[in-house]
């Protein structure tokens, strides 16, 4: 299993023996000759003592011919003890986005007791994230998935069949389109706030042309650094709120309860709770891409612990963000927290600019997978080749951008888009589907079965409320 010749891949020197054994039998190799003195295997240094070390495939060396390099023994790090910080960052980047700008508004909308409901939702989504992680760990043990980045599609097909896979693909496509609409909507809003523009047909046409050209970007490595602008903006906003909170306490010399003044705020507003839950799910749901993120980790053994730590950290951040916003602004919290920064003109402009750059260059990353799926379907059509190229390279792409930009331009409330996406799509992919897959795939005890059934029922009830609210939103 750990024979060096089976671990090597042609000239790729990163695949060396995991056994860290030094062979010195002088035999001639059948396949591979390594002429280097030292190679680094991640955290392991492998020293090869002879200038031309030969490795025999059919006959392993005798114990007397093998030795472990002293340098190797010093540098060995047990892989399962490593914490994957890159995975944690990817999880946070997938869920911490523009949704956090609207989540403080849910406390004003549904009352400050909604914080308890929000905490329960965080526990449910975190639990479902760990179950998706367990599915990834189990499926990665199968030979066909060992070198494959798992997706929600793979898992759905493996646990059920192609019918569920098709359903998930439809949900995924609608979710991507809605997120693109939200990006366009916020781009218009941020442009208005930075340059004091007015809505007109020329602005809409400019956006259509700009985003159409943006989708032709092929090398995403050149723009992926721009995705960090969003996290930077949110971090700066968080620091600014903390600064204002400290300033508020020092100036007024109040206790926490006096500053919150909770008696003058609504305890609970039942009518708005379903919409607030949907918005919260938009901020805590990234489960549709979690399989791809989880399967990219180098340490599957620590995956569950990684998810729990990351989810706890992010939930604490969100709750703190909401509490600070509530103390500072109370019932005057806007549906976009940035609108409450009117006293800090230039800081507000900087935050909005960073967020605008982030969402604009996130658009092609969101749009391209959807466009590629359409391209694959068009390529399978039995039509003229030139027409086929024109359709998938230009026409279909332009039609999609046109529709997305028009809807994003005329749909004024980004919070309503968030509630619809959260209540229907994030609810399906982050609440209902993980529990459905868990019930089918794993052997659960009675408590876990009841828990997952209750989670599914909760998701279905929320779907009903979202459908009811959507009727009045679209009316």
Closest by CA to 286, choosing from 462, 84, 105, 128, is 128
- Half-sphere exposure at residue 81, Cβ-oriented, CA atoms within 13 angstroms: 4
CA dihedral 386→389→395→397, nearest 10 degrees, is: 180
Q: Output the pLDDT for position 14.
A: 37
Element (H, E) at 39: strand 38-41
Q: What is the DSSP string of 250-275?
A: HHH---HHHHHTGGGS-S--GGGHHH
CATH classification of 83-474 is 1.20.1740.10, yes or no? yes
Measured torsion, CA atoms of residues 223, 229, 230, 234, in degrees rounded to the nearest 10: 170
Q: Is the whole model's pTM more than 0.85, yes or no?
A: no
**Contact assessment for residue 30 and residue 57, using Cβ atoms and an 8 Å cutoff:** yes
Q: Is the distance from CB of 135 to CB of 291 less than 8 angstroms?
A: yes
Using alpha carbons, list the distances in angstroms from residue 24 to 5, 52, 371: 15, 10, 55
Sign of CA dihedral 385, 391, 397, 398: positive
pLDDT of the chain, 475 residues: tens digit per residue: 434 333 343 344 333 333 333 344 444 444 444 333 333 333 332 322 333 333 333 444 444 344 444 444 444 444 445 677 778 888 887 788 778 888 889 988 888 889 899 999 999 999 999 999 999 999 988 888 888 888 888 899 899 878 888 899 889 888 889 889 999 998 988 888 888 777 678 889 999 999 998 888 766 666 666 667 788 888 888 998 888 888 877 777 666 555 555 545 677 888 889 889 999 998 888 788 888 888 878 778 888 889 999 999 999 999 999 988 888 887 788 888 888 887 677 888 888 888 888 888 888 878 877 877 777 778 777 888 888 888 878 888 899 999 999 999 988 778 888 888 899 999 999 999 999 999 999 999 999 999 999 999 999 999 998 888 877 666 5
Residues 310, 460: Cα–Cα separation, whole Å: 27
Sign of the alpha-carbon dihedral angle for 7, 13, 14, 16: positive
Structural tokens at position 51: 């200038």
> Domain residues of the chain, as ranges?
4-77, 83-474
Question: How many C-beta atoms surround the C-beta of residue 446 within 10 A?
Answer: 7
Q: What is the pLDDT of residue 246?
A: 84
In the prediction, which pLDDT does 227 show? 65
């Amino acid at each position: 299993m750990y024979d060096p010749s089976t671990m090597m891949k042609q000239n790729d020197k990163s695949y060396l023996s995991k056994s860290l054994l030094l062979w010195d039998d002088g035999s001639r190799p059948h396949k591979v000759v390594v002429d280097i003195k030292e190679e680094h295997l991640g955290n392991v240094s492998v020293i090869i003592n002879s200038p031309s070390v030969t490795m025999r495939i059919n006959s392993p060396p005798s114990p007397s011919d093998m030795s472990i390099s002293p340098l190797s023994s010093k540098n060995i790090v047990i892989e399962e003890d490593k914490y994957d910080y890159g995975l944690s960052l990817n999880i946070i980047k997938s869920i911490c986005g523009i949704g956090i700008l609207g989540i403080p508004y849910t406390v004003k909308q549904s009352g400050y007791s909604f914080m308890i409901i929000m905490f329960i939702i965080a526990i449910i989504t975190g639990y479902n994230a760990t179950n998706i992680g367990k599915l990834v760990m189990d499926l990665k043990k199968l030979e066909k998935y060992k070198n494959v980045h798992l997706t929600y599609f793979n898992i759905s097909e493996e646990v059920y069949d192609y019918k569920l896979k098709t359903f998930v693909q439809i949900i995924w496509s609608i979710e991507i389109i809605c997120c693109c609409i939200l990006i366009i909507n916020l781009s218009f809003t941020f442009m208005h706030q930075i340059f004091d523009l007015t809505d007109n047909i020329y602005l809409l046409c400019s956006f259509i042309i700009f985003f159409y050209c943006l989708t032709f970007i092929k090398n995403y490595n050149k723009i992926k650094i721009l995705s960090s602008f969003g996290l930077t903006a949110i971090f700066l906003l968080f620091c600014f709120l903390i600064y204002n909170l400290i300033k508020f306490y020092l100036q007024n010399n109040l206790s926490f309860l006096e500053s919150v003044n909770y008696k003058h705020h609504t305890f609970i507003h039942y009518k708005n709770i379903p919409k607030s839950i949907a918005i919260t799910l938009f901020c805590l749901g990234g489960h549709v891409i979690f399989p791809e993120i989880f399967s990219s980790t180098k340490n599957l053994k620590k995956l569950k612990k990684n998810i729990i730590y990351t989810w706890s950290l992010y939930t604490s951040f969100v709750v703190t963000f909401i509490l600070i916003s509530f103390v500072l602004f109370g019932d005057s919290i806007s549906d976009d927290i940035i609108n409450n920064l009117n006293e800090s003109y230039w800081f507000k402009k900087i935050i909005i600019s960073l967020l605008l750059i982030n969402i604009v260059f996130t658009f092609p990353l969101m749009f391209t997978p959807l466009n590629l799926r359409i391209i694959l379907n068009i390529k399978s059509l039995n039509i003229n080749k030139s027409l086929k190229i024109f359709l998938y390279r230009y026409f279909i792409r332009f039609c999609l951008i046109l529709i997305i930009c028009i809807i994003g331009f005329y749909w004024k409330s980004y919070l309503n888009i968030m509630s619809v996406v959260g209540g229907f799509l994030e609810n399906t992919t982050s609440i209902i589907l993980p529990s459905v897959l868990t019930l089918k795939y794993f052997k659960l005890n009675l408590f876990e079965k009841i828990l997952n059934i209750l989670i599914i029922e909760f998701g279905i009830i929320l779907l009903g409320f979202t459908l009811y609210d959507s009727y009045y939103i679209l009316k």
